[in-house]
Amino acid sequence: MAVREAADHAAGRSDPADFVRRFDEAWSQSSADALVEVLADDVVLRQPLMPDIVGKAAARAAFERLFRYFPGLTVSVHGWAARDDVVFIDFTLHGDAGGRPISWPAIDRFVVRDGLAAERVSYFDGAGLIGEIVKRPRAWRGFLASTLARRR
């Protein structure tokens, strides 16, 4: 381990390239269980169209709903940048909605603590995503069920 890596590890910082690799691998599995493995127990997830999600259990439930609504959802990572404990990942999500392919670009900002995401803010065009869902009447029922499940 290089001197800087050893100092970063001792200070609770981790290798951002390793975090991005684990993020990409988790998404490639289309699995809530895989995704929560990159999250801290007290994680806070912020995103358009939904209230904040706090804690690993709530994150798992939210990812399970997401994968039910968008079967086969995966990401393609285009690039990333990091400074100190903040990592930005530029990617596109790909899945299925109402029997038709759907994709949308996003950028996530993570605060990484001990190699795990302590906070994530996702930036994407929520109105554009809703517009795509509106074009897929077969997807409406699942979207409404997913929305109602979040309110329970």
**Domains in the chain, number:** 1
pTM for this predicted structure: 0.83
Domain span at 102:
3-151
DSSP letter for each residue of 47-74: -TTS--EESHHHHHHHHHHHHHHSTT-E
pLDDT grade, residue 144 (50/70/90)? low
Instruction: Report the pLDDT averaged over residues 58-72.
Output: 93
Q: Dump pLDDT digits (tens) for 74-130.
A: 999 999 999 999 999 999 999 998 888 999 999 999 999 999 999 999 999 988 888
| pLDDT tens sequence across 115-142 | 999 999 999 998 888 888 888 777 767 6
User: Residue 55: phi, psi to the nearest 5?
Assistant: 95, 155
What residues contact 70, with CB distance under 8 A and at least 6 apart? 93, 95, 96, 97, 102
Average pLDDT over residues 145-151: 54
Which value, in Å, is the radius of gyration of the alpha carbons in the chain?
A: 16
The enclosing domain of 80 has a CATH number of 3.10.450.50
| Between residues 45 and 100, the one the model is more confident about | 45
